[in-house]
Amino acid sequence: DAGEAASASLRAVQLAGEHQVTVATAVDRLVSAKGIVAESSAQFGDLQQGARRITEFIQVIRDLADQTNLLALNAGIEAARAGEEGKGFAVVAEEIRRLAAQSARASEDANTILTGFASQTDRATRQMERGRDMLGDVESLAASAMKALATILEASQSAADWSRRIAEGAHEQERFVGAARDRAGRIDEISRRNRDGSDEVSRSAAEQAGALQELELATRELRELATRLADLTRRLTRIER
């Protein structure tokens, strides 16, 4: 009935309000996530730049190791030419060459590790950039969602108001119908009394006149109720449309 419709409309308003709060909370979290993704993307960009600088530094160490190895080799050749007098210098040159070889191997190992790190950093950076692009228009989407929810909430409130008015109109109509039924009962009772009075010759003319006046009053009240009921029906018809 009208009361149940009004209750359902009120519940719809409550649900719309709850969903509006839920969506607003989710939107706030998405906006925060966008900021975190943007910050993380910038940090990974810094890591990439640092990795490139380390790679350049490792290349410098590798070049120095190659040059040192070449110099140590030349020094060993010259020490061999010097004979007995160059033996001590040859030992030093060999040690330098060995250290240069170790430096070269260490730089290769470091370069291998750094290459793997750089590859992982590149992948993470690309993922962060994709996430940043996906969240790029989150503010506009959030604004659209909140606007739609506000519209739904407003429509639900309007529907609830109309349902409440219809329910109130229905209750008023029931009251008018009850009053009209009572007036009709009174008229029927007066008519019955008049019929009974016409059979009783002893009833006075004054009593007959009073009964007729009461009948006229009840008839007038019933006519007014009928007019008000018709007006209420027209208003309810406009509301339902």
Domain ranges of the chain: 1-136, 160-241
Nearest Cα to Cα of residue 151 among 7, 9, 27, 16: 16
The rounded average pLDDT for each run of 10 residues, N- to C-terminus, in the chain (241 residues) is: 54 64 70 72 76 81 81 78 75 80 82 80 75 66 68 66 63 60 64 60 54 60 58 56 54
Read off the pTM. Answer: 0.42
Class of domain 1-136: mainly alpha
Collapsing DSSP states into helix, strand and coil, what is residue 213?
A: helix
DSSP 203: S
Q: pLDDT tens digits for 106-156?
A: 888 888 887 887 777 777 777 777 766 766 666 666 666 667 667 766 766
d(CA 87, CA 93): 10
d(CA 231, CA 233): 5
Q: 229: part of which helix (H) or strand (E)?
A: helix 205-240
Please say whether the beta carbons of 75 and 152 come within 8 A. Answer: no
